[in-house]
Structure 1
Amino acid sequence: MNPADRDCAPVSTSAGIVVVFYRPNAACVQRANRLADIGPVVVVDNTETKFNASGIGLDERIVYVSNGSNLGIATAINQGVDRLLEAGCASALVFDQDSEPSKHLLEHLPVVLAAELRCDAKVALVGPAYEDARLGGVAPFVRFGYLKLRRVAPTGTRPLNVDFLITSGSCINLAVWKNIGPMEDDLFIDFVDLEWCVRARSRGYKLLGVPTLRLAHELGGEPVRIFGRPYPTHSPLRHYYLFRNAVALIRRDYVPWTWKSTELVKFPFRLAIYGLFLRPRVGHLRMALTGIWHGLTGRMGRFEQP
């Protein structure tokens, strides 16, 4: 039975939007401006130089937070969510600066969340299936499994229970934000969304993938083809965060061994790919190994060059 058809208490569909900027170009500003017609929008800018909203061409209806420093994706999302809570929003749609959500997605995702919450208050997050044409089209949803992720095809009309949703395009139930807690600032970037999802699940909340909704989203940099398969790439610095945060999460008790075992299997393959296929090879390997060491020794936060 569809939750919307059951005789349950009504739930607000009032949604706000958080967009995280980092060195945005004019196209990023234009995308954010189009969102101002949908509802309250908060743009949090992690660019190293402080700007004002009119100076970069933002719509005057948008709340603009210029950090003047790269504080990381987690802190930026937390700042945006705090502003939406102050505005009385029931949910928060979160997007990267490159995301271009359709009007259909913007209007329907908060409605899906509200429909599910009518009879089940333990839903923390809903999100669409994302589509990256460079990596083969629509990506499956994910459930954790020992040694290998279990991929769930985004088919059917009902939301699907999943273990993880990427941040961009997701819709957060702000009624449970304080119970779960904010995104973890010390992770900075990479696995920020995964850690929050795992923490929410560990506290009894559900994550729902919505197979009828799509978001065009590019995952990582330009892919490289390895044995005929496209593989997303990042900078050496991003690979530092990827390995460091993976190691840090593997050491935590509330993170399930289903996910830990999968990451441990991936470690040698990732190192081999960085060392053989990406340039500069030494740079990628050095930053990955530094990340592993910092994860083991508990060095978190933003990476500072020695």
Structure 2
Amino acid sequence: MDNSEERVTATDLGLDSSIDYLANGANLGIATALNQGVARLIAKGHTCALLFDQDSEPSAALLTELPRTLLAERARDARVAIVGPAYEDARLGGVAPFVRFGCLKLQRIVPVGTQPVEVDFLITSGSCVNLRVWHHIGPMEEALFIDFVDLEWCIRAKSKGYVVLGAPALRLAHELGGEPVRVFGRAYPGHGPVRHYYIFRNAVALILRGYVPWRWKSTELVKLPCRLVIYGLFMRPRLTHLRLSLLGIWHGLIGRAGAL
């Protein structure tokens, strides 16, 4: 699924004829693109989907082992909704831990060993989704457009009794966001002002939802003012970052959704 505004064909890109390529001709949001791809896989009878975006570089081993891991875990527990690897971004300090929600602070799980571990959410890229339960959980929420789409889907899956698993033995090379910025020696993913609008808007929107656990809400309530300071002071143009971040907070409070 291609969300770029320039409408091209699979032939223009030199893609193999076996690739099912869809050019949207506009940025419809990551959730819409993922839903389009999953719908085509389900229509063809597939029972799992590997999801990636342009910032990821999956190895051949990952493409093989992720579906195998999902099939093995699904055989043990039909409630498994999604399995994902630990991602590695050298710009942000190497392999990122898996995450569980905790009061005021995320619980970080170092990816060691070979046995999958239950976590609270996975990033979309590199994840392998169990399509047998897709219709019960529901598609990705298109109104969010981008940011927290993966988190909301995982939270919704867990609220319906499904399981989210991290595979510590598997790795994905992935760049999270743009060029990082350093604040007091710590690297933070860098994004443009519009992306920060979506981060704030969707965080506020999810905080207002009943099925979203309070443990996650508590960590976001701590992070939001910190993000606002970092974006407003350390990312340029400062006023644009600050203005769109505040606009995102306002639109989250009043229920504005979709594309900005």
Give the structure-1-normalised TM-score: 0.84
Aligned equivalent of 1:121 = 78
Aligned equivalent of 1:179 = 136
Higher RCO by CA contacts (8 Å cutoff, separation 6 or greater): 2
Letter in 1 for 2:191: H
Aligned match for 2:193, one of 221, 236, 254: 236
The percentage of aligned residue pairs carrying the same residue is 70
Unaligned segments of structure 2, at least 5 residues: none
Aligned match for 1:163, one of 120, 136, 152: 120
Query: 1-side partners of 2:227 and 2:199: how far apart?
Result: 10
2:55 maps to 1:69? no
Describe the SS at the equivalent of 1:56: coil
Deviation per CA, 1:68-105: give whole Å up to 9, x if none: 11100000000000000011111000000231111111
Letter in 2 for 1:45: D
Cα displacement (A) at 1:56: 1.8
Query: 1-side partners of 2:114 and 2:26: how far apart?
Result: 42
Cα displacement (A) at 1:60: 1.2
Cα displacement (A) at 1:108: 0.6
Describe the SS at the equivalent of 2:28: coil
Describe the SS at the equivalent of 2:17: coil
Cα displacement (A) at 1:150: 0.3
Aligned equivalent of 1:100 = 57
Aligned equivalent of 2:257 = 300
Aligned counterparts, 1:73-88, within 5 A: 73-88=30-45
Letter in 2 for 1:54: T
Aligned match for 2:11, one of 32, 54, 57: 54
Query: 2-side partners of 1:183 and 1:275: how far apart?
Result: 30
Cα displacement (A) at 1:119: 2.3
Query: 2-side partners of 1:73 and 1:272: how far apart?
Result: 27
Aligned equivalent of 1:40 = none
Aligned match for 2:149, one of 176, 179, 192: 192
Cα displacement (A) at 1:284: 0.1
CA RMSD of aligned residues (A): 0.6
2:165 maps to 1:215? no
Aligned equivalent of 1:137 = 94
Aligned match for 2:215, one of 247, 258, 281: 258
Aligned equivalent of 2:226 = 269
2:74 maps to 1:109? no
Query: 1-side partners of 2:12 and 2:149: how far apart?
Result: 30
- Runs of 4+ in structure 1 deviating by more than 3 angstroms, as ranges, are none
Query: 1-side partners of 2:152 and 2:164: how far apart?
Result: 13
Describe the SS at the equivalent of 1:127: strand
2:163 maps to 1:206? yes
Query: 1-side partners of 2:101 and 2:149: how far apart?
Result: 17
Between the two proteins, the alignment pairs up a number of residues equal to 260
Deviation per CA, 1:102-160: give whole Å up to 9, x if none: 11110011111111111210000000000000011000000000100000000111000
Query: Contact 2:199–2:248 (CA<8 Å) still a contact in 1?
Result: yes
Unaligned segments of structure 1, at least 5 residues: 1-43
Cα displacement (A) at 1:178: 0.1
Aligned counterparts, 1:37-48, within 5 A: 44-48=1-5
Q: Which has the larger radius of gyration?
A: 1
Aligned equivalent of 1:89 = 46
Cα displacement (A) at 1:197: 0.3
Query: 2-side partners of 1:223 and 1:275: how far apart?
Result: 15
Query: Contact 2:55–2:176 (CA<8 Å) still a contact in 1?
Result: no
